[in-house]
Amino acid sequence: MDSKALADNKVNVRIIDQGSSQINIITGVDEADTEKAIKAIYGAFVK
């Protein structure tokens, strides 16, 4: 879901990493897009 939220807000995803469990996913974005990415993901999960 976070990938769609980022795409909808035109945030370029630079890297995606998943740990040994499927619970956590790390998404890397350009520093210039950090605030926009946080707001997009927050908006997707906390409505």
Question: How do residues 18-43 score in pLDDT, each as one tens digit?
Answer: 988 878 888 999 999 999 999 999 99
DSSP β-bridge partners for residue 29: 13
Whole-angstrom Cα distance, residue 30 to residue 14? 7
pLDDT for residue 1 = 59
User: What pLDDT does 22 receive?
Assistant: 79
pLDDT the model gives residue 25:
86
Return the residue matching tokens 């790390």: 26
